[in-house]
């Protein structure tokens, strides 16, 4: 083996491409067909490494860039390593990381439903998931008696003393025991202090997202239960409930103003799903979920999907999904996968409408 190839052994390249033909039909009659990225595993390119420091210590890093394989564009035009960008030290008493990191909520997608909480049909995915934050410091414990805990603290980088409380906090506990898995992952953030300019509209409400889950592996497949409670939903140009208050980075520097009255509206999300391995290469599943608007504003939704994965190899999978969702009168939730469709219907064809979605595509991991 050449010296140059050896020199590369500090870095592992990895990633995947996930592209699908997607069709969305609204009960308004509007429809759209597109070649989209990321039914369930957003296309990405990553660089990662582990250095053994001895005595149970390791230095680690990971840099991960999402992109749209249908167009070659970056997932986040402002961040090249938009998905992960961190350096850390693993120790005998747990792992510490610094940088842009996935939330624990995002990380446990595989425990949420049979689609790894992606595809158009996953109601938890449609509701919206806080995925990652800048300036994030995390600690993950070793797994002890089946339990593993994680905490995150993402700095609000602001001058002055009143902003430390506006940091973004995360807490997660995951429990595994043979065929059983269960846990909690949550996030909470307080808005920036009121300013003279926004005093009249400023709210003190924390934005919160709480996620409980439980899985059972029955041998030929799994059953997944998930529950979410959150007030992190707002309106945007795409629909009445198509946006989030606390985005994947709260601009600027992890700080949100606290002036969105939607933070007073809580939603509960309930979802059940299961899959079944028909053959070594073929897995089928079904999912049903409900978003309930606890404020009584009739801004919930319900829906589900059926789907199948066919493994051409460990690295290459074909898949197909048929999905349906019905928005309540004042809701504008949209289908999303691991990434949103590259073109979509207008808000008027989403708000209060029923949506049918078909997805057929390929994932290739490398």
- In whole angstroms, how far apart are CA 275 and each of 219, 280, 287, 309? 11, 13, 9, 10
Assess 250 for contact with its own copies (CB under 8 A).
Answer: no
Assess 91 for contact with its own copies (CB under 8 A).
Answer: no
End-to-end Cα distance, the chain? 21
When the beta carbons of 297 and 354 are compared against its own copies, the nearer one is 354
Assess 282 for contact with its own copies (CB under 8 A).
Answer: no
Assess 139 for contact with its own copies (CB under 8 A).
Answer: no
Assess 247 for contact with its own copies (CB under 8 A).
Answer: no
Contacting its own copies (CB under 8 A), which of 23, 74, 151, 169? 74
Rounded CA gap, 21 and 262, in Å? 34
Assess 82 for contact with its own copies (CB under 8 A).
Answer: yes
Assess 158 for contact with its own copies (CB under 8 A).
Answer: yes
Least Cβ distance, residue 260 to its own copies (angstroms) = 23
Least Cβ distance, residue 177 to its own copies (angstroms) = 31
Own/partner contacts of 58-66, CB < 8 Å, gap of 24 or more, are 58/89, 58/90, 59/87, 59/88, 59/89, 59/90, 60/87, 60/88, 60/89, 60/90, 60/95, 60/97, 61/86, 61/87, 61/88, 62/86, 64/15, 66/42, 66/339
Contacting its own copies (CB under 8 A), which of 38, 99, 300, 332? 99
Assess 173 for contact with its own copies (CB under 8 A).
Answer: no
- In whole angstroms, how far apart are CA 188 and each of 39, 153, 330? 28, 10, 26
Assess 1 for contact with its own copies (CB under 8 A).
Answer: yes
Cα 89 from chain centroid (whole Å): 25
Chain positions 33 to 52 lying near its own copies, rule: CB under 8 A, are: 33-35, 45, 47, 49, 51
Chain positions 312 to 331 lying near its own copies, rule: CB under 8 A, are: 312-313, 315-316
């Amino acid at each position: 083996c050449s010296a140059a190839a050896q020199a590369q052994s500090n870095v592992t390249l990895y990633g995947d491409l996930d592209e699908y033909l997607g069709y969305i039909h609204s009960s308004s009659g509007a429809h759209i067909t597109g070649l989209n990225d990321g039914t369930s595993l957003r296309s990405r390119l990553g660089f990662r490494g582990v250095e053994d420091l001895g005595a149970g210590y390791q230095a680690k890093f990971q840099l991960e860039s999402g992109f749209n394989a249908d167009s070659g564009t970056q997932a986040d035009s402002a961040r090249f390593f938009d998905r992960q960008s961190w350096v850390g030290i693993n120790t005998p008493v747990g792992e510490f990381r610094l940088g842009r990191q996935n939330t624990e909520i995002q990380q446990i997608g595989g425990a949420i439903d049979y689609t790894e909480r992606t595809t158009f049909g996953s109601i938890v995915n449609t509701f919206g998931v806080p995925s990652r934050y800048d300036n994030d410091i995390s600690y993950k414990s070793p797994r002890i008696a089946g339990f593993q805990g994680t905490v995150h603290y993402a700095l609000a980088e602001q001058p002055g003393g009143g902003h430390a409380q506006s940091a973004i906090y995360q807490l997660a506990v995951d429990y595994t025991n043979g065929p059983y898995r269960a846990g909690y992952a949550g996030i909470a953030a307080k808005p920036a202090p009121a300013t003279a300019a926004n005093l009249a509209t400023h709210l003190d409400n924390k934005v919160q997202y709480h996620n409980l889950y439980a899985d059972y592996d029955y041998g030929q497949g799994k059953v997944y239960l998930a529950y979410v409670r959150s007030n992190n939903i707002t309106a945007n140009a795409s629909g009445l409930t198509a946006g989030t208050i606390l985005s994947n980075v709260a601009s600027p520097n992890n700080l949100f103003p606290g002036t969105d009255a939607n933070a007073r509206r809580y939603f509960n999300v309930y979802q059940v799903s299961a899959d079944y391995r028909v053959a070594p290469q073929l897995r089928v599943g079904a999912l049903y979920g409900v978003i309930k608007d606890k404020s009584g504003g009739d801004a919930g939704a319900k829906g589900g999907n059926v789907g199948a994965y066919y493994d051409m190899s460990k690295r290459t999978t074909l898949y197909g999904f048929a999905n349906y969702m019905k928005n309540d009168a004042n809701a504008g939730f949209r289908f999303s996968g691991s990434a949103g469709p590259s073109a979509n219907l207008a808000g008027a064809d989403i708000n209060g409408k029923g949506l049918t979605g078909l997805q057929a595509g390929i994932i290739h991991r490398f």
